[in-house]
Amino acid sequence: MSGHGGAPKQLGTRVIQALALATIFGLLFGVTRYTPSLREELGTIPAVGFLLLAGTLLSELLEPFGLPHLSGYLLAGILGGPHVLHLVDHETVERLSPVNTISLSLIALAGGAELRTATLKKVARSLGWAMLTQSFIVLFVMGGVFFVLSGFIPFARELPVGARLAVSLLWGVLCITRSPSACLGILAQTRARGPVATFSLAFIMASDVVVIVLVATAMMIARPLLTPGAEFSLSDFKHLWNELIGSVAIGTTVGLALAAYLRLLGGRALLLILLAIGFALSPFLRYVHADPLLAFITAGFVVQNLTNQGPKLLHAVEQTGSVIFVVFFATAGAHLNVPLLKQTWQIALTLCAARALTTWVAARIGSRLADDPPTLRTWGFSSLVSQAGLALGLAVVISDAFPSIGHGFKSLAIAAVAINEMIGPILFKFALDRARETHREEAASRTSLVPPEPAH
């Protein structure tokens, strides 16, 4: 996907961008304050336009400070959202959910299309050890950290020991989720190629399956400890198996259909087709209890590796790459519950710091076992801090499954994800810059991510 890229902007350009940003915020602030009725009449399309323009301008202004564009998109959404300047109200933010769904579908589709079997084979050893260490070390260590801190967490402090162990396990599972959208967004901006970029993309896209399996296992163990009268049941694994098979089957079908369309019609009006698929298929996947992220990753993977139409698909998605990421992350910023973050930031920040440290330790252990090159040993953990939609989705699933701890668990999860969502992309871009994998020149398409260098 295309990033903003290009030559460094001159001071005059930055001044014009700052004035334009101030004008946009000022005009909308004045309109919504002096004619409040217009806020309800603005609707979804103007809100998307505002977030798109404000996010783009703010990301450009933050660029000289070395911050990723995603930070600008998030900040624009936070400032313009219902909790700060209230330029976009709660109802409009909720109406933006379908737009977010389409964006996430295209991001997952592009992520699957970026995964090539040749690259996966060359990083298989690194992926295997990283999956093992990141999944189990982070899960159990963070579960232990949560249990130790549970006496300071309002919704957990009064629970019996067994229930606190169950909640700790669920929190540990939540901590192993990553953000495919943040990873792809940073790679799109930086045009990064190299060991860190290749490993990050492959690991984060592949880890979705592992997360789904571990979530089902944790919920199965936690249910008799948290729900009176509930019994330990293996039926969850039957539902899990059906979900995985269904997601892969639907994704494979969509991928083959897209490849046939590309081959027969050469990709005419492909963007409209992709938008239609994202809009219509996501609700259907949820209705049949399939995982949309896994299905769209599978579709992109099939087009790239089982047909010769992968470059056409990537090019089509890349043409709208910047727009997709601006809308997705600006909307995520607008969704951010700032008052809730103020109430829980101390414990959330402690948990986030512990997660980042544990992730780093697990990455060092995995890299040493895999005999990774020095660059990957140093910076391989950097993309694993970000969290976004997947973590929030799992928090909602856990909240619905266990109403006794649901509200408190979801509130703390939202606060922690918000912190990781803001810090993670900055860390990943910093790591890519230090690893000298970023490319400032604009490219028409990232044809491949080069595999890691051989171990020395």
- The answer to whether residue 5 sits within a structural domain is no
- The answer to whether residue 442 sits within a structural domain is no
142 plus 212 within the same structural domain: yes
- The answer to whether residue 2 sits within a structural domain is no
Q: What residue has token string 């909790």?
A: 83
Q: How far is CA 168 from the centre of its chain?
A: 23
CA quadruple 356, 324, 21, 444: dihedral sign: positive
Give residue 444's pLDDT: 38
79 plus 107 within the same structural domain: no
Give residue 446's pLDDT: 44
CA distance linking residue 178 with residue 328, whole number of Å: 16
77 plus 215 within the same structural domain: no
Q: CA of 65: how far to CAs of 61, 70, 311, 373, in Å?
A: 8, 13, 34, 29
* Angle made by CA atoms 107, 183, 318, in degrees to the nearest 5: 40
Give residue 360's pLDDT: 96
180 plus 78 within the same structural domain: no
CA distance linking residue 57 with residue 165, whole number of Å: 46
119 plus 75 within the same structural domain: no
145 plus 71 within the same structural domain: no
Structural domains of the chain, count: 2
86 plus 170 within the same structural domain: no
Nearest to 410 by CA among 170, 224, 222, 218: 170
Overall residue count recorded for the chain in this entry: 456
Burial of 413 (0-12, 13-18, 19+ CB in 10 A): buried
Give residue 43's pLDDT: 63
- The answer to whether residue 443 sits within a structural domain is no
- The answer to whether residue 328 sits within a structural domain is yes
CATH number at residue 421: 1.20.1530.20
- The answer to whether residue 449 sits within a structural domain is no
86 plus 121 within the same structural domain: no
209 plus 337 within the same structural domain: yes
Q: Kindly report the pTM of this predicted structure.
A: 0.79
CA distance linking residue 47 with residue 44, whole number of Å: 5
Give residue 378's pLDDT: 93
What distance, in Å, lies between the first and last C-alpha atoms of the chain? 32
CA distance linking residue 197 with residue 431, whole number of Å: 10
DSSP secondary structure, 98-161, as one string: HHHHHHHHHHHHHHHHH--HHHHHHTHHHHHHHHHHHHHHHHHHHHHHHHHHGGGSTTTTTS-H
287 plus 210 within the same structural domain: yes
Q: Which amino acid is at 308?
A: N
CA distance linking residue 186 with residue 197, whole number of Å: 10
Nearest to 379 by CA among 352, 360, 354: 360
- The answer to whether residue 445 sits within a structural domain is no
pLDDT tens digits for the chain (456 residues)? 434 444 556 778 888 888 988 888 888 888 777 766 665 555 667 777 888 888 888 888 888 887 888 888 888 888 888 888 878 877 777 777 777 777 778 888 888 888 888 878 888 899 999 999 999 999 999 999 999 999 888 888 888 999 999 999 999 999 999 888 888 888 888 888 889 998 998 898 888 778 878 888 888 888 888 877 666 666 667 777 778 888 899 999 999 998 998 888 876 777 778 778 877 887 888 778 788 888 888 999 999 999 888 888 887 777 666 677 787 778 777 777 777 777 778 899 999 999 999 999 999 999 999 999 999 999 999 999 998 777 877 887 888 888 888 888 888 888 888 888 889 999 999 999 999 998 655 443 444 454 444 444
Domain boundary, last residue among 77, 95, 113: 95
Give residue 76's pLDDT: 87
151 plus 82 within the same structural domain: no
Contact 374, 162 (CB under 8 A): no
174 plus 300 within the same structural domain: yes
- The answer to whether residue 261 sits within a structural domain is yes
Nearest to 21 by CA among 68, 61, 69: 61
Give residue 442's pLDDT: 45
Domain that holds residue 19: 11-95
